[in-house]
Amino acid sequence: MSTFIQLHLLTSYPPANLNRDDLGKPKTAFMGGAERLRVSSQSLKRHWRTSDLFQESLAGNLGTRTKRLGLEVEKRLQDGGIADGKAKKWAADIADVFGKLEKDSVELSQLAHISPEERQAVDALTDTLIEENRAPEKEELALLRKNPAAADIALFGRMLAEDPAFNVEAACQVAHAITVHPVVIEDDYFTAVDDLNNGDEDRGAAHIGETGFAAGLFYSYVCINRDQLIDNLSGDEALADKAIAALAEAAIKVSPTGKQNSFGSRAYASYVMAEKGSQQPRSLSVAFLKPVQSQDQAADAITCLEEQTQRFDQVYGECADQRYSLNAHTGEGSFQALMDFLKKD
């Protein structure tokens, strides 16, 4: 039976526009009869994965998501003295290994998540083609790896529609973050003044605009299948634990960057409950089907979360072997103790 690590987080953001829809408004979801603010799982994972914290913690063990691999190979070939026509054809042969190409282009039609060792294999083959001034041979184009040693690919998975044998099943699931209470999206009407306009002829603004915003206390849920993660990393337990620690820290400390310069909405999680065990995972979002509407939302949301945990245990039996909570609202627990808890016993 797999060992699961679950994180339940409550994070409070001041007025902000963390994750926008196609109209530029904060994303929302309707739940429990009320409209809530929402931050998509795609947004969360993107900001965690690209954060300095995550990148530095897992340096050398992270992949690259790109459509531009063929373009880079083509340029390297051209810079190495290969004629344009040959460079384009050879680059297309290499890029085609990672997915379908755009028509008459060496650019991929979809993003491909490429591991460090796959990228190194591409670079080595490119250097060989330049040195020997020849096209790649069929056996040299076996560039993909079934178990790429990239922590982010192991965590979040990889899908290659053209080569499903090299797909990677994600070891981590991330829920869309939602507010524990109803929200009303407000509009910020703003103007910008021209510094060189002395007002003699025109005192009007140089720019007028508006942007949507709202404040909220968000519930977030992350589930990691540790055994799947280790399997994705070809049995490298040390790297798996390093990836779990990096992801947990990013989830707790890294904020979405939407409109960050306009709202300064950086925040740490106010409450974190971590669980470990072989039991079937479950979200605790049901704790907030009834919106939290009180003067002390943080304390009441924590109470709702902990009481729902107890009720699940009461009817299903213990839903986790071990738990640890960090409560920055009351000053209980510590971040270091939480990180130690996440390590394998």
Distance CA 170, CA 246 (A): 16
Amino acid 167: pLDDT: 94
Question: Looking at residue 236, what is its pLDDT?
Answer: 95
For the chain, which residues score pLDDT lower than 70? 1, 345
- pLDDT at residue 1 in the model: 64
Task: Identify whether the C-beta of residue 256 lies closer than 8 Å to the C-beta of residue 47.
Answer: yes
The pLDDT of residue 2 is: 81
pTM score, two decimals? 0.92
User: Where does residue 100 rank: exposed (0-12), middle (13-18), buried (19+ CB within 10 A)?
Assistant: middle
Query: What's the pLDDT score for residue 68?
Result: 96
**Averaged confidence pLDDT in the chain:** 94
Looking at residue 77, its pLDDT comes to 96
76's enclosing H/E stretch is: helix 69-79
Tracing tokens 């510094």 back to the chain, one arrives at: 195
pLDDT in tens, 176-216: 999 999 999 999 888 788 888 877 777 777 788 888 899 99
- The rounded Cα 59 to chain-centroid distance in angstroms is 16
pLDDT at position 198: 76
Residue 8 three-state SS: strand
* pLDDT at residue 162, rounded to an integer: 80
Contacts of 280 (CB under 8 A, 6+ apart): none
Beta bridge partners of 170: none
**pLDDT for 90:** 96
**SS3 call for 14:** strand
pLDDT at 345: 64
Q: Is 17 helix (H, G, I), strand (E, B) or coil?
A: coil
CB-based contact 20:260 (threshold 8 Å):
no
Three state DSSP letters for 213-282: EEEEEEEEEEEEEHHHHHHHCCCCHHHHHHHHHHHHHHHHHCCCCCCHHHHCCCCCCCEEEEEEECCCCC
